[in-house]
Amino acid sequence: KAGVTQTPRYLIKTRGQQVTLSCSPISGHRSVSWYQQTPGQGLQFLFEYFSETQRNKGNFPGRFSGRQFSNSRSEMNVSTLELGDSALYLCASSLHLFLAGDTDTQYFGPGTRLTVL
């Protein structure tokens, strides 16, 4: 079974621009989460989607948004990019949102490395 895929893998943008990152979950997985990883802050949770609805959100400004489509694929968008948005953005999928057992274990994609100049 194919893993989580993320596109693009690398991206260079300039301040003020906006960017859209894409994530395709493992087949059959319905929950998608996004994380930002930086050397200073480590891994931080952005948001989680299940059945096209945002179920949980981290402490990020409104410039960060996302959505999930009916096929469970997800996109995240960052508007008005700042230098501090340079990071590795990781997407993770799980079978379900939250149930007893292992069905909410998250499996991660390779990430999109965003550089803001």
Residues that bind another protein (CB under 8 A): 33, 35, 42-43, 45, 48, 56, 58, 88, 90, 92, 98, 102, 104-111, 113
Q: Give the residue with the Cβ less far from another protein, 40 or 70.
A: 40
Closest CB to another protein among residues 59, 70:
59
Query: Which residue(s) pair with 66 in the sheet?
Result: 76
Retrieve residue 117's tokens: 């100049």
Contacts of 24 (CB under 8 A, 6+ apart): 4, 5, 6, 73
Shortest distance, CB of residue 52 to another protein, whole angstroms?
A: 18
> Exposed (0-12), middle (13-18) or buried (19+): which is 73, by Cβ within 10 Å?
middle
Tell me the closest approach of the beta carbon of residue 97 to another protein, in angstroms: 9
Of the two residues 20 and 56, which places its CB atom closer to another protein in the complex?
56
Nearest distance from C-beta of residue 31 to another protein, angstroms: 11
Residues in the chain: 117
